[in-house]
Amino acid sequence: MKRTITIEEVRKAVEAAHAHFREEKGGKNADYIPYLKNVPSGLFGITVCLADGRSVSAGDTDYRFGIESVSKVPTALLVMNQYGARKILERIGADATGLPFNSIMAILLENDHPSTPLVNAGAISACSMVRPAGNAEAKWKAIAQFISSLCGSDVTVIDELYRSESATNFNNRSIAWLLKNYDRIYDDPEMALDLYTRQCSLGVSTRQLAVMAATIANCGTNPVTREEVFHANLTPHIASLMATVGFYERTGDWLFNTGLPAKSGVGGGIMAVVPGVMGLAAFAPPLDGAGNSVKAQKALEYISVRLGLNIFNPARIEVAAQESVKEKACR
C-alpha cells in the first residue's frame, strides 16, 4: 500500500513550496520579545532531511533564528530519556490545553499537573527535572549538548535574544512560581525559569532543525553523525505530544490539514516529523494569532499534501533509503 518516492521528488516539492509562498504576506513578527520584532520579516527557508541523512534545502536555510518553543521538544525528550516516559506522564502530563502557550488559566484549570511539556508551564517544569539536580550550569550543559547532538552540530545562545527575553519574561516568571505553589517544580523555580529562557534563546538554522527532526524520525539515532542520542522507544511518545499540542489552540486545524506531528516557535520556526521517513523544518518570522509562522505552515502543508506524508493515511509514502541505512524500528 505504501508508495516509495525519490529524493528528486522531495527536492521538487521543497523548491515548489518555496517558490509558491515566497511572496505570501500574512502574519506579523512576534513583538512581545523585542529582539524578534527586528528580525527581517522576508526571511524564508525550508529544509527536509531524510531518515538516512540526505537533505534538500531552499531559501534562507543557514540563517540562525530563535528556536523558542521548538526547544520544548528536545527538553521533553531529554527528561524522558533521563527518567523514562512514564515519569513525565505522571509529573507533567500529555494533555492538550486548547489554550495559548503561556496560559496561566490552563494551570489553574489542571490542578493536578501542568498538562504537557510542550506548553510554557510544562516546559519550565521539565527544565526543573533535568539532571543533575541543583546545578544550573551542569543542567544547562546537559540541555545544550543534547540539542547539539540532535542537530549534529553546535547550537549556541543568541545573547541579544537571551537578554531581550530575560528582561521581559514576567508572565513566565508567574508561571514558574505558580507551579512551585502546586509542587510541580522539581528544583529551584528561578533556575528552571532561566534554563527555559536560555533554551528558547538558542539560535538554529532550518538545516539544523531538520536534522533534529530526522533524528526523531530515525528513532533517536542522528542519521548524519550516527550518534545514538536517545532511546528508540521515545519517538512515538514525542511524536504524540507534538501531534496533540504542537500549535497550541490551532493544533487541531494543523493536524487536520497535514497529518504531521510538528512544533512551532514564535521565532518563526516549525519542525515536523514523519516517523521512519523524514524530518522537515521551515522558517519565516511573521506569525498568526496563536504564534505559529504563517509561511512555514503553508510551505509544510504543501509538501505534506504533495508528497503524501500524512501519518494517518495508510497510503503514506516511504522514501527510497540509501543502501547503507538499515531499517530501524522505534522499539
| Residue 297 interacts with ligand GLN (CB under 6 A): yes or no | no
Least distance to ligand GLN from the beta carbon of 271, Å?
Answer: 12
194 scored as a contact of ligand GLN (CB under 6 A): no
Residue closer to ligand GLN (CB basis): 221 or 292 = 292
Nearer to ligand GLN, 223 or 291 (CB): 291
Binding positions for ligand GLN, 8-67, rule CB under 6 A = none
Which of positions 201-260 make contact with ligand GLN (CB under 6 A)?
A: none
- At 271, list the grid cell: 519542525
Cis peptide before 74 (omega within 30 of 0): no
Among 60, 110, 165, 249, binds ligand GLN (CB under 6 A): 165
Cα 83 from Cα 16, distance rounded (Å): 42
Minimum Å gap between C-beta 61 and ligand GLN is 20
Q: Centre a 10 Å sphere on the Cβ of residue 156 and count the other Cβ atoms it contains.
A: 12
CA dihedral 99, 235, 230, 226 (to 10 degrees): -130
CB 320 within 8 A of CB 6: yes
List the one residue out of 212, 209, 61 whose CA is nearest residue 149.
212
Verify binding: residue 266, ligand GLN, rule CB under 6 A: yes
Under the binding rule (CB under 6 A), the answer on residue 68 touching ligand GLN is: yes
Under rule CB under 6 A, residue 101 binds ligand GLN: yes
Binds ligand GLN (CB under 6 A): choice among 29, 47, 57, 102:
102
**118 is a site residue for ligand GLN (CB under 6 A):** no
Among 61, 115, 120, 297, binds ligand GLN (CB under 6 A): 120
DSSP-assigned beta bridge partners for residue 319: 5
| Closer residue to ligand GLN in complex, CB, 153/166 | 166
Joined grid coordinates for residue 49: 532531511
If one counts every other C-beta atom within 10 angstroms of the C-beta of residue 6, the result is 10
Residue 116 in the binding site for ligand GLN (CB under 6 A) = no
Q: Does residue 265 touch ligand GLN according to CB under 6 A? A: yes
Task: Rule CB under 6 A: say whether 172 interacts with ligand GLN.
Answer: yes
CB within 8 Å of 274: residues ≥ 6 apart: 217, 260, 280, 309, 311, 316
Considering beta carbons, is residue 278 or 280 the nearer one to ligand GLN? Answer: 280
Q: Which residue is nearest to ligand GLN (CB)?
A: 69
Residue 285 near ligand GLN by CB under 6 A? no
DSSP 235-280: HHHHHHHHHHHTTGGGHHHHHHHH---EEE-TTSEEEEEETTTEEE
First to last CA, the chain: 23
Nearer to ligand GLN, 33 or 224 (CB): 33
Residues that bind ligand GLN (CB under 6 A): 68-69, 101-102, 120, 165, 172, 200, 265-266, 291
